[in-house]
Structure 1
Amino acid sequence: MIELLTSPEAWAALLTLTALEIVLGIDNVIFISVLVSRIPEPHATRARQIGLLLALVFRIVLLSLLVWLIGLTEPVLTVKNVALSWRDIILIAGGMFLIAKATHEIHTEIDAFQHGREERSAANAFFWVIMQIIVIDIVFSLDSIITAIGMAQDLEIMVAAVVIACVIMYVSSGPVARFVAEHPTTKMLALAFLVLIGVALVADGFKFHIPRGYIYFAITFSAAVEFFNVLARRNRRKAKVSK
């Protein structure tokens, strides 16, 4: 442990892995922010806290099962000459879940009748939100930790990077969730991001890797455009009030 604290290579690995874990955690934060926007406070805050705590727990538990995780990358099924491992199957299932969930949420946002029907069943909303967060936490945690295993050799570095990334996710999730809840067009954009991320997970599962840089560039560019749209709408409202 002392050797790691005094090793420049260990610090470089920690910084690199932490940055990567934060980027990979963006998907998790967006998904949780969209889900909790449909339930009232203080349930939304509690669901967000539970979701991020579970994300941290799942990541640490998976890190403690390194041998089992490495075994998940061994082929177990062949589909049209594509060898699939358990990791691939989980990514495909998780990606399809994300696509289906985001599509359903987009439909709900557009269809007023469906929206009203969901509000009448709000008593069960908190439970179902937590269940959905658990499902997607497992998928994102698996992808995140297998990436960490490929980048670092020491378990201490992996755990430290995961904990730091989860703390940053927790701090940033509040403002992100409030912003999504207050701006309906931003929520629609976030749902479109989830469809994009789901497609990328399914593609990864079938061995067709879409460079994450392309996806995160598209997300960043779209978010910047939406930010300026929000500012423009706010300025128009101020101009009307001043008149």
Structure 2
Amino acid sequence: MSTTDNFDPAELAKFSDLAHRWWDTESEFRPLHQINPLRLGWIDSLAPLSGKRVLDVGCGGGILADSMARKGADVLGIDLATKALKVAQLHALEACTEGVQYREVSAEALAVEQPGSFDVVTCMEMLEHVPDPSSVVKACAALVKPGGYVFFSTINRNAKAFLFAIVGAEYVLNMLPRGTHEYAKLIRPSELAAYCRAAGLNLQLTRGMEYNPLTRHYWLSADTSVNYLLATQKY
């Protein structure tokens, strides 16, 4: 995979069409706003963000990047969706968020440009949207400093994940636009762990993320059968 071609034009178009709704907490992006405190707290508990140089790969409209900057990190958010990045930049200006910048560049290209430059790298809800997730994992490993942390989150590939994350979330509860996820692109934890090991990342911790549709409550657990997060550290 080259530094420029690991993307799906249809996926970029999908999120670009919704770009103006990134910061609407009642929009299609409501789930991301709801889970962000969980993701942020988990990352900060393992790799305290204050004073760290952080890269957010696949930052979209900047929900996580913005919150990490507010924790005192120096954050660079990158994405290939132009409209989403413009929304992220506008929000940073309107919210007076210091310590966050955004660039339209792929992880692979940035890895060539700035290898070993970041204390923490995050790549959340992004791997299931690219043709070659292992290429992104390899780039994240190249971008982080030795001893630094790389965090991933994605969706498992099994019958339960299909039922909950696709049928339930997209077609029954209408939490996400239909077609947001393709089952064949989902990634089993064992597959992601293998990508990490091949890239020189040591798996530190795995957590699942669960959701109760009645209470609209999210929480972290040991159940990785649907949504899950991985914390890794560079050798």
Higher helix fraction (1 or 2): 1
- Scaled by the length of structure 1, what TM-score is found? 0.24
> Which protein shows a greater Rg?
1
Higher strand fraction (1 or 2): 2
- Scaled by the length of structure 2, what TM-score is found? 0.25
